[in-house]
């Protein structure tokens, strides 16, 4: 314990320094981890009501926020990693803000979003009591075997969870994880009601999802299903045909089918955790109150008018981003780089439909592949006013001509880092560290 | 637009859009349909799925890449439609087969374990499965000018003695990373490893295929419209400059 206290003290100091400098969120975690590699286990091991890991390719941050809101609405005090820093060091950094020197957070449960690889690293340090497995999508097109590999990582996470898992029943890659859970571990599913199952391909990659051997199982009493009413409102059915009641109708602050599915996933996990004390009325109001997370429409006050930065990194993610933000047309820029961290192959842009941008067009495309992006938009009959590969020059043009109107930039990872750095200098924003990788 | 007011119907067949169109290969179909329309023709798109009857009319046939699981699901259907595809190819029907479908259009695919899986034999190529993946951006010299794209394949393909390649590699691996050849071309049938997708960024190649298809469909020489390809030309020339200087 002494060692943990020393690690926490050093980490807290590093955190205070980093805050003053406006630095990243991972460094203090690194400092603390160096001094006490077991700090996670020491700090989180004793939480009485559970340690929940949320993992999968898309929607981790949103789902985690929703789950935390649901649990807090039911009176729990919940520790989470709120910045979207889905690496173990980010979790430790977040911990440093909330623990005393003895190392215990003032919480009775933890809900942590972790990417697939870090979820396993985390499980090495602390056994999760619960795991919520969202989906598997292609992230880096360069790495061919990734989907299968990612699915295996999630299956391993499920197999190392002690009490309960909640699994996406519509995603054959994720659904396989149910096979490996320990005996006695409860398995529940979330998914979509049959009435909208035809819309799932929008969110998934067809070429990899045609596993003939996989048939979506009939819904059980523990399963939780999404049933939209219209573009904005939906209900969440508890059990097949809502035999266990329902949550909603709910309208989220975030738009789009993906956000509704995230809400369904969070509800399924909350119901498993809360059991008999789960209250559908409280759940509905908690979901309705959740705001869009950082990096999924981070809003920067740029000369008195909002500028949104939206990270896009794969076809499913871009499609979700367009359905979430694209239906409120504002002045738009798209910045596409093809460095390793972006994915070197830009083919994936043709697996996204940009038709929702037709009404207002795109003011500028930028980045190393600015012309490829403009070409892609041309094939979807979206007007492009200008192409400027240089990000700084593009940002200047984009902001100069907007007349105080709100604006939005969709960008790949390294383009976002460059743009964010320029904006941070210009508008005196805190810099950000690992959080943008979520 | 009625058929009379256009230059004619052109039937485009996309083979196995669900199983075999990874890495944006759907963009090729989108590009062909859009360009045919802009050239003043009426494209009719047929999505051919396994087990369905092959469309009666086919003036242009497109196929893409897939994962192994996708490939396994189309093999039985491909055997059924093989005679029709060979007949169409012999009659001069333009076809573009990317990656996995390129391999299936060859003589055979030999697995790492040495198992020989026969292909359609429309292109005289043989592919050897190997552990090494060839991944990255590509620049080719072809009969249609510079062609850019992105390759991602583990199969290593060798051309038969009389088989012409699609292009010569200026940057990237190509068929096998050794002999500088990329793809294969027999008549109007082209096989290539290039995703990207290949057609949007390389309009000269796209229009060559459209030209063959239009002539076949209407019995008259291709009557191209005037298309603005400034974005495509910029995208392509910038890639060429980046990769080969
Ligand atoms: Zn390929």
> What number is the ipTM of this complex?
0.95
| B201 Cα to chain A: minimum distance (Å) | 8
The answer to whether position A15 is within a domain reads: no
Count of pairs with CB atoms under 8 A, one residue in A, one in B: 88
Catalytic residue among B39, B48, B59, B195: B195
Instruction: For residue A142, give the chain B residue with the closest CA.
Output: B135
Same domain membership, residue A304 and residue A285: no
Same domain membership, residue A368 and residue A267: no
Q: Which of B68, B31, B131, B48 is nearest to A207 (CA)?
A: B68
- CATH number of the domain within which A360 lies: 3.90.190.20
Residues of A in contact with B150 (CB under 8 A): 344-347
Out of A211, A345, A346, name the one closest to residue B152 (CB): A345
Report the number of distinct structural domains present in chain A. Answer: 2
Q: What is the pLDDT of residue A435?
A: 37
Q: What is the pLDDT of residue B27?
A: 93
Beta strands in B160-230 (DSSP E): 167-171, 181-182, 184-186, 189-192
Same domain membership, residue A133 and residue A62: yes
Cross-chain residue pair A210–B69, CB shorter than 8 Å? yes
Same domain membership, residue A256 and residue A111: yes
The answer to whether position A341 is within a domain reads: yes
Q: What is the pLDDT of residue A317?
A: 78
- CATH number of the domain within which A139 lies: 3.40.1190.10
Same domain membership, residue A261 and residue A301: no
Residues of A in contact with B232 (CB under 8 A): 371, 375
Pairing type for strands A233-238 and A224-228 reads antiparallel
Q: What is the pLDDT of residue B69?
A: 66
The answer to whether position A418 is within a domain reads: yes
Q: What is the pLDDT of residue A23?
A: 47
Low-confidence stretches of chain B (pLDDT beneath 70): 1-4, 68-70
Task: Give the domain extent around A267.
Answer: 46-289
End-to-end Cα, chain A, rounded Å: 31
Same domain membership, residue A351 and residue A228: no
The residue with tokens 């995703």 is B195
Residues of B in contact with A383 (CB under 8 A): none
Same domain membership, residue A196 and residue A69: yes
Domains of chain B, start order: 3-244 (3.40.50.880)
Same domain membership, residue A86 and residue A181: yes
Cross-chain residue pair B69–A144, CB shorter than 8 Å? no
The answer to whether position A337 is within a domain reads: yes
Q: What is the pLDDT of residue A12?
A: 66
Q: pTM of this prediction?
A: 0.70
- End residue of a domain, out of A273, A289, A305: A289
The answer to whether position A19 is within a domain reads: no
Q: What is the pLDDT of residue A384?
A: 97
The answer to whether position A201 is within a domain reads: yes
Interface list for A 316-345 with B (CB within 8 A): 344-345
Same domain membership, residue A62 and residue A183: yes
| A284 Cα to chain B: minimum distance (Å) | 37
Q: What is the pLDDT of residue A206?
A: 41
The answer to whether position A22 is within a domain reads: no
User: Is residue B200 within 8 Å of residue B24, measured between CB atoms?
Assistant: no
Q: Is the CB of A372 inside 8 Å of chain B's CB atoms? A: yes
The answer to whether position A240 is within a domain reads: yes
Low-confidence stretches of chain A (pLDDT beneath 50): 22-23, 140-144, 205-212, 432-438
């Amino acid at each position: 314990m002494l060692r943990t206290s020393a690690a926490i003290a050093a980490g807290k100091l590093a955190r205070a320094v980093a805050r003053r400098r406006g630095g990243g969120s991972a460094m203090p975690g690194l400092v603390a981890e160096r001094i006490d590699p077991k700090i996670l286990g020491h700090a989180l091991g004793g939480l009485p009501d559970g340690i929940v890991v949320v993992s999968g390719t898309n929607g981790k941050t949103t789902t985690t926020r929703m789950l935390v809101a649901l649990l807090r609405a039911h009176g729990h005090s919940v520790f989470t990693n709120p910045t979207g820093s889905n690496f173990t060091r980010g979790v430790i950094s977040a911990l440093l803000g909330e623990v005393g020197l003895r190392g215990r957070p003032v919480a009775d449960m933890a809900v942590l979003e972790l990417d697939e690889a870090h979820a396993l690293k985390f499980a090495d340090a602390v056994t999760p009591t619960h795991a919520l497995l969202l989906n598997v999508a292609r992230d880096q097109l360069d790495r061919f075997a990734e989907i299968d590999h990612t699915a295996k990582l999630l299956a391993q996470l499920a197999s190392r969870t002690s009490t309960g898992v909640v699994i996406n029943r519509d995603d054959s890659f994720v659904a396989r994880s149910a096979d490996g859970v320990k005996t006695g571990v409860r398995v529940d599913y979330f998914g979509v009601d049959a009435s909208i199952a035809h819309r799932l391909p929008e969110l998934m990659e067809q070429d990899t999802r045609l596993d003939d051997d996989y048939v979506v199982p009939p819904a059980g009493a523990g399963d939780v299903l999404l049933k939209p009413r219209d573009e904005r409102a939906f209900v969440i059915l508890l059990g097949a045909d809502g035999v266990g009641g329902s949550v909603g109708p709910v309208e989220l602050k975030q738009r789009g089918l993906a956000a509704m599915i995230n809400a369904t996933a969070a509800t399924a996990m909350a119901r498993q955790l809360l059991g008999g004390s789960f209250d559908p009325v409280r759940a509905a109001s908690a979901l309705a109150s959740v705001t869009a997370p950082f990096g999924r429409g981070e809003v920067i006050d740029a000369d008195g008018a909002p500028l949104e930065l939206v990270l896009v990194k794969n076809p499913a993610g871009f499609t979700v981003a367009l359905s979430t933000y694209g239906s409120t047309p504002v002045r738009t820029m798209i910045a596409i780089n093809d460095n390793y961290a972006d994915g070197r192959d830009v083919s994936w842009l043709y697996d996204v439909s940009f038709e929702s941008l037709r009404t207002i067009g795109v003011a500028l495309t930028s980045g190393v592949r600015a012309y490829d992006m403009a070409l892609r938009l041309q094939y979807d009959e979206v007007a492009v006013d200008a192409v400027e590969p240089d990000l700084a020059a593009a940002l200047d043009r984009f902001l100069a001509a907007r007349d105080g109107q709100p604006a939005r930039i969709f960008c790949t990872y390294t383009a976002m880092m460059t743009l964010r750095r320029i904006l941070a200098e210009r508008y005196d924003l805190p810099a950000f560290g690992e959080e943008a990788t979520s | 637009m009625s058929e009379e007011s256009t230059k004619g119907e052109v039937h485009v067949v996309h083979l196995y859009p669900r199983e075999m169109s990874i890495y944006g290969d759907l963009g090729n179909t989108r590009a062909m349909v859009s360009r045919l329309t802009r050239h003043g023709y009426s494209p009719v798109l047929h999505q051919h799925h396994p087990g369905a009857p092959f469309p009666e009319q086919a003036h242009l046939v497109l196929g893409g890449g897939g994962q192994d699981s996708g490939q396994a699901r189309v093999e039985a259907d491909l055997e059924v439609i093989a005679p029709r595809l060979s007949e169409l190819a012999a009659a001069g029907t333009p076809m573009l087969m990317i990656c996995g479908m390129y391999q299936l259009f060859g003589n055979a695919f030999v697995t790492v374990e040495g198992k020989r899986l026969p292909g359609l034999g429309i292109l005289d190529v043989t592919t050897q499965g190997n552990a090494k993946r060839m991944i990255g951006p590509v620049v080719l010299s072809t009969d249609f000018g510079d062609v850019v794209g992105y390759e991602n394949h583990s199969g290593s393909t060798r051309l038969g003695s009389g088989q012409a390649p699609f292009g010569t590699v200026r940057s990237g691996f190509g068929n096998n990373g050794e002999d500088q050849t990329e793809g294969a071309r027999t008549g109007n049938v082209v096989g290539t490893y290039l995703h990207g997708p290949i057609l949007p960024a390389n309009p000269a190649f796209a229009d060559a295929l459209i030209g063959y298809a239009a002539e076949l469909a209407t019995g008259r020489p291709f009557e191209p419209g005037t298309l603005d390809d400034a974005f495509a030309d910029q995208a392509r020339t910038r890639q060429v400059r980046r990769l080969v200087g």
